[in-house]
Structure 1
């Protein structure tokens, strides 16, 4: 089963990005399409975001 998650910071909003582990990312307003993203690429992205804080 495919599970999409969005940030807890955007629960009340419909304008957000959702993440599907091992699948990719998508816009919550356009859920029928997504950008494929590997676990490795997602991990690298998160590492860069955290380092830029």
Structure 2
């Protein structure tokens, strides 16, 4: 299980804030909320499968 919004950023350990994640994704996400597209410098928030299509 992975926190969608990490505890460090105010996320709670409740069903609405938890998602299944493979070990690779879990270990690489850490507490990040997004990532940078290095070509453009744009900050992109990670996809939330419960709120976005």
Same fold (TM over 0.5): no
Question: TM-score, normalization: structure 2?
Answer: 0.27
Which structure dedicates a bigger proportion of its chain to helix?
A: 1
TM-score relative to the length of structure 1: 0.27
